[in-house]
């Protein structure tokens, strides 16, 4: 299969209603594609360890190119994805922004 030839339409949606659409090739991490398109997303390690780039997949399919170490199984089950190591396998809608990472953990004493 020649990769790079097929691109998908990825809609990035911030909690405040702001939305951006980016075309992402199948062999390109969504974070990098967004950067190239001039769309700023939060990130940190770029290796799948820190979860700073967490998004929530609302629609569509992605594949992580490396194990998403920063996500626990419960997070993965709930649809959270790491955009630094996620490639699209279909058109996608993804909730993004720093608030999505903050959903992963809450104040345990509260």
Partner 1 sequence: MSDAQQPDDTTAHTEHEHHDTEGPGYATPQAAIEESEPEEVAYVMGLYVGTDVDAPDFLGVVDVDPDSDTYTEIVDRVEMPNRGDELHHFGWNACSSSCHMDGLERRHLVIPGQRSSRIHVVDTKDRRNPELESVIEPEEVFEHDLSAPHTTHCIPDGQILISMLGDADGDLPGGFLALDENFEVDGRWEPPGEIEMNYDYWYQPRHNVMVSSEWAAPKTYYPGFDFEDVEAGNYGQRLHVWDWENKTVEQTIDLGEEGLIPLEVRFLHSPEATHGYVGAALSSNVFHFHEASEARSASEQSSGDKPRDGDEWRAESVIDVEAREHDGWDMPVPGLVTDLLVSMDDRYLFFSNWLHGDVRMYDISDPANPRLADRIWAGGHFGDPAPVQDRELAGGPQMLQLSLDGERLYWTTSLFSSWDNQFYPEEAERGSVMLKADVDPRNGSMSLDEEFLVDFGDLPGGPARAHEIRWPDGDCTSDVWQ
Q: Which stretch binds ligand FES (CB under 6 A): 9-17, 44-52, 55-63, 95-103?
A: 44-52
Q: How far is the CB of 47 from partner 1 (least distance, A)?
A: 6
Q: Please count the residues of the chain.
A: 110
Candidates 71, 98, 105; CA nearest to 15 is: 98
Query: Under the criterion CB under 6 A, does residue 29 sit at the interface with ligand FES?
Result: no
Give the nearest residue (CB) to ligand FES: 84
Q: How far is the CB of 2 from partner 1 (least distance, A)?
A: 27
**Residue 110: burial class (beta carbons within 10 Å; 0-12, 13-18, 19+):** exposed
Q: Report in angstroms the alpha-carbon separations of 55 from 2, 6, 13, 60, 108.
A: 27, 22, 9, 13, 22
Here's the x/- map for ligand FES, 51-90, by CB under 6 A: it reads as xxx----------------x-----------x-x------
């Amino acid at each position: 299969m020649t990769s790079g030839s097929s691109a998908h339409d990825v809609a990035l949606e911030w909690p405040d209603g702001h939305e951006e659409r980016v075309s992402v090739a199948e062999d390109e991490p969504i974070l990098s594609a967004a950067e190239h398109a001039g769309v700023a997303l939060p990130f940190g390690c770029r290796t799948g360890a820190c979860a700073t780039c967490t998004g929530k997949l609302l629609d569509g399919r992605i594949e992580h190119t490396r194990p998403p170490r920063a996500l626990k199984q419960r997070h993965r089950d709930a649809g959270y994805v790491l955009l630094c190591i996620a490639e699209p396998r279909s058109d996608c809608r993804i909730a993004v922004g720093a608030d999505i990472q903050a959903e992963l953990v809450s104040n345990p004493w509260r």
